Structure 1
Amino acid sequence: MTPDRTLSYRKGPTDGPLLNQTIGQALRRAALQWPDELALVSRHQRLRWTWRELDREVDRVASGLLHLGIRKGDRVGIWAANCAEWAVIQFASARIGAILVTINPAYRVSEVEYVLAKAGCSLLVTAARFKTSDYIAMLREIDPNAMPLLRIKVALGEEVQEGVLRWDDLRAEPDVPALTALEAALSPDDAINVQFTSGTTGFPKGATLTHRNILNNAHFTGRTINLTNADRICIPVPLYHCFGMVLGNLAALTSGAAMVYPGEAYDPTLVLQAIEAEGCTALYGVPTMFIAILARTDLDSYNVSTLRTGIMAGAPCPATTMRQVMDQLNMREITIGYGMTETSPLTTQTATDDPLEERAGTVGRVHPHAEAKIVGPDGKTLPIGEQGEYCSRGYAVMQGYWDEPERTAEAIDADGWMHSGDLAVMDEKGYIRITGRIKDMVIRGGENIYPREIEEFLLTHPQIQDAQVFGVADEKLGEEVCAWVIAKPGAELSVDGVLAHCRGNIAHYKVPRHVRVVPRFPMTVTGKAQKFQMRKMMETELRIARGSPPLGEPQ
């Protein structure tokens, strides 16, 4: 039956088949197809590997895992910033069917304890330290009884730590017969990764993903930006997140492109140096990363002429930023991607040849072998052009939240549709615009206000670099609009100037009641602004200003 084109439902193309292989098999194929071509560059480690060399190193670590008793289905944690060992443990755990549990490098003791215990990790690979955090000391604070399955800790580097193996202790002479037998027994539908959500709204949940989920998502994302073995992908986004480990590492794996890590963590200088030195052709990032690069006064001194494409995702992209990236970074074929950890991650993406207005104003059309629809509060598919919740279905949808069937059932309905919690609109051509979060919507005196709309308007102010809009509690109206803005370098931005820009240009009820000019936003490590933290800080400030104690303190 032909779908009703007047409804907000579209199905992606199916002309290219789904990959039916495991990640380990894909690496074997890459090593055979491109043995002497560049696979991985970790610039801060001064390390360069071909696909053959990477495959051999993965065999050594996979064999080491087997010698330590790690088997199919066991959970292996990785708690580290971007480095070559991160990619090796990703591929090595997949090769033997162990489930990789990716841990946010910014986590503190209680969060690490929660993830290790929740996932039941048997082995943890950890950096010794990162920035100001001493990971080994933090792990020693955790009661071993809280993590009864954790038997082995492996620290990166050469330093000897009591009760902790070194990375070199994990490397063993490859046991090829054992690895070959194991690989043959694995299925693309086996769970291979648990990724805990980034926590912009609350406590993390562990999205459980399969080989089929993430390998195919990487494959189709790479095809969309025309990746080949001639490309080099600059990957400053964190590997612990889908953006880095799937759209970065696995898209390189399926296309033969090289992975280039500029540094342990995002630094715009290191990114520009990597692009110039390695001749990178693709660059990934969230909007805040691109904004920081564009704001550099010495941008013109770097040669970025090799860039042609990339992906901007993870948060809404201001239209002005998109245009600047295309013009100033030479990324004429940059694409916008949208998705979530629970969908491996992308379910929509713009094409490299989409008109500028579609690439700057939408998140593209539905990905191959996926379905998308926009539904109302009653669950019915809405007519084209009407705003509702974005839902997706297909191979990319996770198996579920690790050990949380109730929360899984809340997110994935009986027909297999993943409910995103995002508000969206689909046009007649199938392009989708994300208009906000259902939970972010501000209800002010009965008026529904969508923060994304106000954020886009604020970014038309010539002195505003970034803006976040959210609701704060108000005794009279229920909620009021609050805006936090970051000024462009050198700009003298005032609250009065922001308000003057709004008055008369947007409806009165959308004009922020509270405005703060701030140096930065509270962010997740993946570059997403944490509005719940801003709201908490702002409501505390307002209560104190009214002479009321902060919530939780005695009246």
Structure 2
Amino acid sequence: MEERELRPVPDWHTIPRMLRDQAARHGDVEVVVSDGATLTLSELARKASEVARALMALGVTPGDRVSVWAPNTPDWVVAAYGIWDAGAIIAPLSTRFKGIEAGAMLQRVGAKVLLVAEGFMGTSYLDMLAEVRDTLPELEHVVVLGDADPGTSRALRWDDFAAGASSISPEAAEERALSVAPDDLAEIMATSGTTGTPKGVMLHHEQLLRGYWDWSEIVTLREGDRYPIIAPFSHGFGINAGLLACVLRQATMMPIPLFVPDKLMDLIEERRISVLAGAPPMFFKILDELDGPDPRDVSSLRVAICGAAAVPPELIRRLLDRAGLDRMINAYGMMEGTVISMTRAGDPVEVIASSTGRAVPGVSVRVVDDDGKDLPPGERGEILVGGYGVMRGYWRDPERTAEAVDEDGWLHTGDIGELDEAGNLSIVDRKKEMFIVSGFNAYPAEIEGLLLQCPGVAQVAVIGVPDERQGEVGRAYVVPAPGGDVTPEGIIEWARANMSNYKVPRRVVLVDALPVNPNGKIDKPALHARAATEQG
């Protein structure tokens, strides 16, 4: 699907208006399916309004921040739309956060209400919150999601919270929802991961609707699709390309609270999954299962979305052939810039594998040198992004906002990339991932792409480690192909014969699997931590 074929986003302007229109037109469509729970669009709209009334009863006013600290569940979906109906701003917290980290983000955004899970994976979030509660003077209420018991904590049971809705009339709640303006903030998304001072990306209603309507158009997300949301709702992809996009397109979302790779094939077979989004390791898992002694049925899969700097061409070819996919899409986006570029229908395998496609409509992409000068196609520099998707800024942080978005409105992504003559954007690496070997800039993603061409190498992750003589050198963690007969020495020998000498990893470590984060991407911090404990 080319840009000219994208239908314009309907005349909604805000998420509450979008939900009401979808519920009125497609009320019987099942938009959420999870173990023991199913929600139609009309049921979601009704439950969201009840949550909005309960929040209003707690004193939530337009522009207040409400946080959600929970895994992906139907309750999370209802809570999000209820927060938006109340005119509030959702500020999600990662379930990986510990108490100090959650407290830092709650303090940063000045959250008035926190909706929290309890007991997920044996973790007491209420206990962790208790450690920092005294540092959060703006946090007035804590509500426990579902039927969990808050125990002796200063938290409301969900039933008690919901009962408060009776004090607010449906008419008052409707007036509140319809008073939300297109440029009102909808989200403040944490960007610092699980370490460091948190930053909160400010995104407003109209830009989110535009960005993820266009994303859904290119993906061809539609009614009848069954789409497991593996990325956490606390992450921009999970909440926007999942929770929001499915309601935009009447698709059925399946919230996955805890992704277990070994159960992926069961999920596809039993739930007849048609759309799947993730990083390369997840798709390698599918191929391993398909090539096993008892091939699984993945005939329901229609579209796969892979967000990665480089995707092995052979992975795409095998998925198209073995899994019978109609489309394989590579894409590039970030919290601060929403949807930036995507591959399109008709793009050859080589374009999907080596690039993240062309800028989406309404978004501009530049590649510049250290002086901010535009570089010609084929030359590498920092990626700058302009257009409607650029964030409003970092919440209560004008200094770091100015560092990220210049006076002309260009977002400085910190990513290194290059454009080809057709405008396809290739991501070489993060500036911070780059390491310098004897004065040469080495980009892990590029080296990984080269090493994947080595016979017997199925997956690889490269990091830079300190070296007394060369400053830094590469270390490669390699997953051998099934039945492959490779050795670290053999891989290094191949690299020396096929790569520039500064790109050749000093050491290769064979592993059974690469560590991944909740979004299915390679967990580079975990590899750095491992490298620090290894000799040599």
Q: Structure 2-normalised TM-score?
A: 0.92
Conservation of the 8 A alpha-carbon contact between 2:309 and 2:428: no
- The aligned residue for residue 469 of structure 1 is 462
The equivalent of 1:40 in structure 2 is 32
Q: Does 1:28 align with 2:20?
A: yes
Distance in 2 between residues matched to 1:390 and 1:276, nearest whole Å:
40
- Secondary structure at the counterpart of residue 281 of structure 2: helix
The C-alpha deviation readout for 1:291-344, integer Å capped at 9, x for no partner, is 233333669643321221132115543333222332233222121110111112
Q: Secondary structure at the match of 2:436?
A: strand
In the alignment, is residue 160 of structure 1 matched against residue 149 of structure 2? yes
Cα distance in structure 2, aligned partners of 1:413 and 1:358: 31
Given candidates 55, 59, 64, the residue that maps to 2:49 is 59
In structure 2, C-alpha distance between the alignment counterparts of 1:369 and 1:130, rounded to whole Å: 40
Structure 2 match to 1:260 = 254
Secondary structure of the corresponding residue to residue 91 of structure 1: helix
Match of 1:4 in 2: none
CA change 1:265–1:198 in 2 (3 A) is farther
Counterpart of 2:419? 426
Give, in whole Å, the separation in 1 of the partners of 2:412 and 2:53.
40
Q: Is the 8 A contact 2:70 2:117 kept in 1?
A: yes
1:170 matched to 2:161? The reply is yes
Find the counterpart in structure 2 of residue 179 from structure 1. 173
Q: Is the 8 A contact 1:12 1:366 kept in 2?
A: no
Please list every run of 5 or more consecutive structure 1 residues that lacks an aligned counterpart in the other structure: 1-10, 546-555
Q: Cα–Cα, structure 1 residues 168 and 274, in superposed 2: closer, same or farther, change >3 Å?
A: farther
- Asked if the contact 2:309/2:355 (under 8 Å) is kept, the reply is no
**In structure 2, what residue type is equivalent to 1:374?**
V
Instruction: Please give the per-residue CA displacement for 1:495-525, whole angstroms capped at 9, x wherever unaligned.
Output: 2232233231212222111222234445432
Aligned match of 2:445: 452
Q: Which amino acid in structure 1 is aligned with residue 480 of structure 2? A: A
Residue 236 (structure 2) aligns with: 242
Aligned ranges 1:110-121 → 2 under 5 Å: 110-121=100-111
Contact 2:363–2:385 (Cα < 8 Å) also in 1: yes
**Residue 426 of structure 1: how far off its partner (Å):** 0.8
CA deviation after TM superposition for structure 1 residue 238, in Å: 1.6
| Cα distance in 1 between the residues matched to 2:380 and 2:304 | 28
Using the aligned pairs only, state the percent identity.
36
Partner of 2:397: 404
Aligned partner (choices 184, 191, 195) of residue 190 of structure 1 = 184
User: Which amino acid letter does the alignment assign opposite residue 245 of structure 2?
Assistant: A
User: Could you say if the C-alpha distance between residues 232 and 522 of structure 1 is closer, same or farther in structure 2, counting changes exceeding 3 Å?
Assistant: closer
Matches within 5 A, 1:290-301: 290-296=283-289, 301=295
Match of 2:300 in 1: 306
Residues 402 and 316 of structure 1: CA distance in aligned 2, closer, same or farther (over 3 Å) = farther
Asked if the contact 2:72/2:257 (under 8 Å) is kept, the reply is yes
Larger relative contact order (Cα-Cα within 8 Å, sequence gap ≥ 6): 1
TM-score, length of structure 1 as denominator length: 0.89
3-state DSSP class of the match of 1:77?
strand
Q: How many residue pairs were aligned?
A: 528
1:229 matched residue in structure 2: 223
CA distance in 1: counterparts of 2:3 and 2:384, whole angstroms: 14
- Structure 1, 303-312 or 50-59: larger mean CA deviation: 303-312
2:493 matched to 1:503? no
Give 1:540 shift.
5.2
Q: Is the 8 A contact 2:223 2:251 kept in 1?
A: yes
Within 2, Cα distance between the matches of 1:415 and 1:200?
31
- Deviation (angstroms), 1:13: 6.1
Q: How does 1:15-164 map to 2 (within 5 A)?
A: 16-17=7-8, 20-43=12-35, 46-142=36-132, 144-161=133-150, 162=152, 163-164=154-155
Query: Helix, strand or coil: the match of 1:484?
Result: strand
Distance in structure 2 (CA, Å) of the matches to 1:487 and 1:117:
45
Deviations 1:196-231 (A, max 9, x none): 115399544211111122222110011112222232
Which residue does 1:552 correspond to in 2?
none
What corresponds to 2:475 in structure 1?
Answer: 482
